[in-house]
């Protein structure tokens, strides 16, 4: 069944309106029309099954038949803070981590982060990443569209993450004693998980010390050192396996 993103503000009881590019895609590309059954999902992870009742110029009206709310699904909230990566590697991280159930992504600049943008470029990147997240949810069937924040400095990211009640850990290639398996076992009862993954050049000793002072546990992949984009995807895949499947 075809899936489309809908802003929850466009849902009124059992009536819903798809707007913009989602509506155009449904009508002009997929050639859907009145009577077709479709699936909708909103930014909170609620899912709706409905029937198309009317086609406008840039809108599609839908009568909702069933609704499954986000809170009906028992699944951990996963916050990923990921160092901004160069080229299209960050696109890959956003896409794959969305497919694996991340609920929020906080990009950050660390001392070894290569890309450094001004506010205008950062806003364009954020919009681009959020579009990738929506597309990934449509394709994968993931429940929640993660919010991708504006990129912020490393210390601001630590402060933001430390205000959550989530179990917090930071991936560090020099941590050989505390494994990810051990950390996840000890946080099995936690409702939320917050994980930090660094840049291509890794974290500095100062950054690791600052993270520990903010309550983050350092952990790693044992003897393996992964590329930054691989580490982000791998840690989400492991969390998904341990906490969801």
* Contact (Cβ atoms closer than 8 angstroms) between residue 51 and residue 61: no
Please say if the pLDDT value at position 84 is more than 70.
yes
Q: Greater confidence, 87 or 60?
A: 60
Q: Where in the chain is the domain with CATH 3.40.1280.10?
A: 77-243
Compute φ and ψ for 181, nearest 5 degrees: -60, -45
Tell me how far apart the alpha carbons of residues 37 and 110 are, in angstroms, rounded to a whole number: 47
Q: Where in the chain is the domain with CATH 2.40.240.20?
A: 3-71
Tell me how far apart the alpha carbons of residues 240 and 67 are, in angstroms, rounded to a whole number: 24
pLDDT band at 74 (very low <50, low <70, confident <90, very high): low
> How big is the CA angle at 151 (ends 148 and 93), to the nearest 5 degrees?
55
Please say if the pLDDT value at position 54 is more than 70.
yes
Please say if the pLDDT value at position 132 is more than 90.
yes
Mean pLDDT over each residue of the chain, to the nearest integer? 90
Compute φ and ψ for 119, nearest 5 degrees: -65, -35
Please say if the pLDDT value at position 72 is more than 90.
no
* Contact (Cβ atoms closer than 8 angstroms) between residue 195 and residue 170: yes
Nearest Cα residue to 109 out of 129, 81, 88, 87: 81
Q: Greater confidence, 76 or 57?
A: 57
Q: Calculate mean pLDDT across residues 86-114.
A: 93
Residues 6+ apart with CB under 8 A from 48: 6, 11, 16, 39, 40, 41, 42, 62, 64, 65, 66, 67, 68
Transcribe 83-131 into DSSP letters: E--STTHHHHHHHHHHHTT--EEEEEE-TT-S----HHHHHHHHHHHHH
What pLDDT score does 223 carry? 83
* Contact (Cβ atoms closer than 8 angstroms) between residue 170 and residue 209: no
| Fold (CATH) for 3-71 | Ribosomal Protein L25; Chain P (2.40.240)
Nearest Cα residue to 107 out of 87, 120, 93, 95: 93
Nearest Cα residue to 146 out of 161, 129, 160, 158: 129
Say what percent of the chain tops pLDDT 90.
Answer: 64
What pLDDT score does 143 carry? 65
Please say if the pLDDT value at position 232 is more than 80.
yes
Q: Calculate mean pLDDT across residues 97-108.
A: 94
Give pLDDT tens digits for 150-191: 999 999 999 999 988 899 999 999 998 898 988 998 887 788
Does the domain at 77-243 match CATH 3.40.50.300? Answer given as no
What pLDDT score does 114 carry? 84
* Contact (Cβ atoms closer than 8 angstroms) between residue 98 and residue 133: yes
* Contact (Cβ atoms closer than 8 angstroms) between residue 78 and residue 193: yes
What pLDDT score does 110 carry? 95
């Amino acid at each position: 069944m075809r899936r489309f993103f809908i802003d929850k503000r466009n849902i009124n009881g059992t009536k819903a309106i798809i707007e913009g590019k989602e509506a155009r895609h449904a009508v002009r590309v997929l050639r859907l029309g009145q009577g077709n059954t479709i699936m909708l999902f909103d930014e909170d992870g609620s899912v709706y099954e409905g029937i198309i009742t009317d086609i406008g110029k840039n809108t599609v009206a839908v009568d909702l038949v069933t609704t499954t709310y986000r809170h009906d699904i028992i699944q951990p909230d996963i916050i990923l803070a990921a160092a901004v990566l160069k080229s299209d590697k960050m696109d890959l991280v956003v896409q794959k981590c969305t497919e694996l159930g991340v609920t929020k992504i906080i990009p950050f600049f660390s001392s070894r982060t290569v890309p450094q943008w001004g506010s205008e470029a950062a806003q364009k990147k954020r919009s681009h990443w959020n579009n990738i997240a929506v597309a990934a949810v449509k394709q994968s069937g993931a429940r929640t569209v993660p919010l991708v924040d504006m990129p912020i400095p490393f210390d601001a990211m630590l402060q933001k993450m430390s205000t959550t009640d989530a179990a917090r850990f930071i991936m560090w290639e020099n941590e050989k004693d505390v494994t990810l398996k051990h950390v996840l076992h000890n946080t099995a009862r936690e409702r939320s998980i917050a994980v930090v993954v660094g840049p291509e050049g890794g974290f500095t000793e100062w950054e690791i010390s600052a993270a520990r002072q903010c309550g983050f546990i350092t952990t790693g992949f044992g003897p393996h050192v992964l590329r930054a984009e691989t580490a982000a995807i791998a840690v989400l895949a492991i969390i998904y396996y341990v906490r969801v499947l």
